[in-house]
Amino acid sequence: MVLAFASKSLRKTCEAEEHARRQLGSKVAERLKHRLADLEAAGSVQDLIAGRPRKCKASGRYVMHLVDGICLEFSANHVKNPVDGNGEVDWGRVSRIQILQIGKCNNG
């Protein structure tokens, strides 16, 4: 998949390992590196297994568990997101995502 980032600071955290270690700690930064590689290698969200990816019912976004209650949240990021028959994002056809945040997991 193609990754984009909600902010320049988030991009820096995701792309500069030392910056991520300072911001998030070694354990979270290491796991983040692996999850980002998983995302880039996947053809779609439905190909993901690691990090227990799940769709949040309230927002329609996806979250992946990193470690110690910290999650990576992302959304579809096509100019026109693919939709299913119900008008919801068809995650099986999503190949572009935007990383929205890294933070405490919620149960949404």
pLDDT at 43: 85
Residue 92 token pair: 């099986």
Q: How far apart are CA 14 and CA 20, in angstroms?
A: 7
pTM of the entire predicted model = 0.84
pLDDT at 105: 81
Residues 74-94: tens digit of each pLDDT: 999 998 988 888 888 888 889
pLDDT at 58: 67
Residues 12-71: tens digit of each pLDDT: 999 998 999 999 899 999 999 999 998 888 888 888 877 677 887 767 788 888 988 899
CA nearest 64: which of 76, 52, 56, 80?
52
Q: Is 31 helix (H, G, I), strand (E, B) or coil?
A: helix
CA nearest 70: which of 29, 36, 102?
102
Q: What is the dihedral of CA 54, 47, 96, 30, to 10 degrees?
A: 70
